Amino acid sequence: MGTAPEPQAGRGGKRGQRMDAAGSEMDAEGLALLTATLDQLARAHDGAELTKALDDFGFPEVLATSPREAASSLFTAMGQAGTTSAAFQDVLIGNASGRLLGPDAGEAQSIVLPPVGAATAGRVDAGSITLRGLILGQRTNVGPLLVPADSADGVVWVRLPADLPAERLAIRSVAGLDPALMMAEVTATGPADVVLGGPAADQAWRAVVAAGRRALAYQIVGAVTAMLDLAVTHARDRVQFGQPIGAFQAVRHRLADAYVAREGAAAALDICWEADDEELAAMLAKSLAGRAARIAATQCQQVLAGIGFTAEHPFHRYLARALVLDQLLGSATDLPAQIGARLAAAGTLPRLADL
């Protein structure tokens, strides 16, 4: 059984071209060069080193002009390589409004994500914030924190300086299942500098969440691809009863299940950039990516058998990365119910793709 084909990041636009969300086009040659370069950087570097390499390459500028191509290529590559960087914050910040960024736009700001299962990262009452959230992709030079928080008037955005005293702001590394992800937990209390409120604040938060879900889904799909490739290679190389185990129908069915789940998530990501309801499309893609990770975790582990449990084998790294990323901004368990509630409230089914 040969190695499964790589998922394509997008199929929209003219033949031989891709149309990004900003309306700009990248021809097939330019896309291939971008994809190959980002893949090489993601495999050669990790963490702060990858962040620096991406900054030197000009990734934030590429992301601003071609968000679809930049995000799909990089986050798929990081998922397959098992690496991480501050590019996730570039995606989040890039989808926040200019008014939200304010006078600190030149600084390395970080957007605080809600803890698992929560809708926002904090609560503002009587001019004071209570914050508990997560930071993924924070840069070494810590800048102001931008916090989406609930209030009596709906979602508001609060800016917290990173140099607040320890009794007001605490940032600690989160090890957990995937310490290499370099995620941090942030807690804070005290006066709140609200920089955006009203409908604009809610709109900015929805745009940030949709962009974050897309990026996470690409990274999860990349990790699923790596898990599937490891299982396929093992099925091809491992010999039992005089033939590779990939020749047995039961093994083929397991790999096919993982492959179909991965392709479904990749297809959902394709339509994210062109759907009438971009937020719903991002929810669907993130949900299907998490589902694909769980299917691949089960089926590929069965194919790998005991070797897949060992610390020496790389499978566990991709498994942990996919499962942790699935929990951020809604998991494969939580999002289907949210999608159903959204559709029921609207009373209609939006167009997600032209058939």
What's 115's DSSP letter? P
- From the number of C-beta atoms within 10 Å of its C-beta (0-12, 13-18, 19+), residue 237 rates as exposed
pLDDT at 15 over 80: no
Is the C-alpha dihedral spanning 232, 237, 238, 239 positive or negative?
A: positive
7 has a pLDDT exceeding 60:
no
**Mean pLDDT score of the chain:** 89
Reported as a single tens digit per residue, the pLDDT across 162-193 is 889 999 999 999 988 999 998 999 999 999 99
The pair phi, psi for residue 87, each rounded to 5°, is -60, -25
Quote the percentage of the chain above a pLDDT of 90. Answer: 75
Please state the pTM of the whole predicted model: 0.90
Judge whether residue 134 has pLDDT over 90: yes
Q: What local confidence, expressed as pLDDT, does residue 19 receive?
A: 42
The closest alpha carbon to 134, from 158, 117, 150, belongs to: 117
Q: Could you give the CA distance from residue 251 to residue 153 in angstroms, rounded to a whole number?
A: 55
In this predicted structure, the answer to whether residue 14 has a pLDDT above a threshold of 50 is no
Checking if the pLDDT of 201 tops 90, the result is: yes
Which region among 88-92, 102-106, 151-155, 160-164 has the lowest average model confidence (pLDDT)? Answer: 102-106
Kind plus residue range of the DSSP H or E element containing 124:
strand 122-125
**Model confidence band, residue 348 (pLDDT cutoffs 50, 70, 90):** confident
On the 0-12 / 13-18 / 19+ scale of CB atoms within 10 A, 149 is buried
Query: With 50 as the cut, is the pLDDT of residue 83 above it?
Result: yes
Are the C-beta atoms of 276 and 314 separated by less than 8 Å?
Answer: no
Residue 13 has pLDDT above 90, yes or no: no
Task: Identify the pLDDT of residue 139.
Answer: 85
- What are the tens digits of pLDDT across the range 254-281? 999 999 999 999 999 999 998 889 999 9
Q: Pick the more confident residue, 274 or 51.
A: 51
Three-class DSSP category at 116: coil
Structure tokens at 310: 């060992």
Which whole-number Å values give the CA distances from 245 to 25, 249, 253, 310, in the listed order? 44, 9, 12, 20
Domains along the chain with CATH numbers = 17-93 (no CATH), 103-197 (2.40.110), 201-346 (1.20.140.10)
What pLDDT, in 10s, does the model give residues 219-254? 999 999 999 999 999 999 998 888 988 889 999 999
For residue 37, pLDDT over 90 is answered with yes
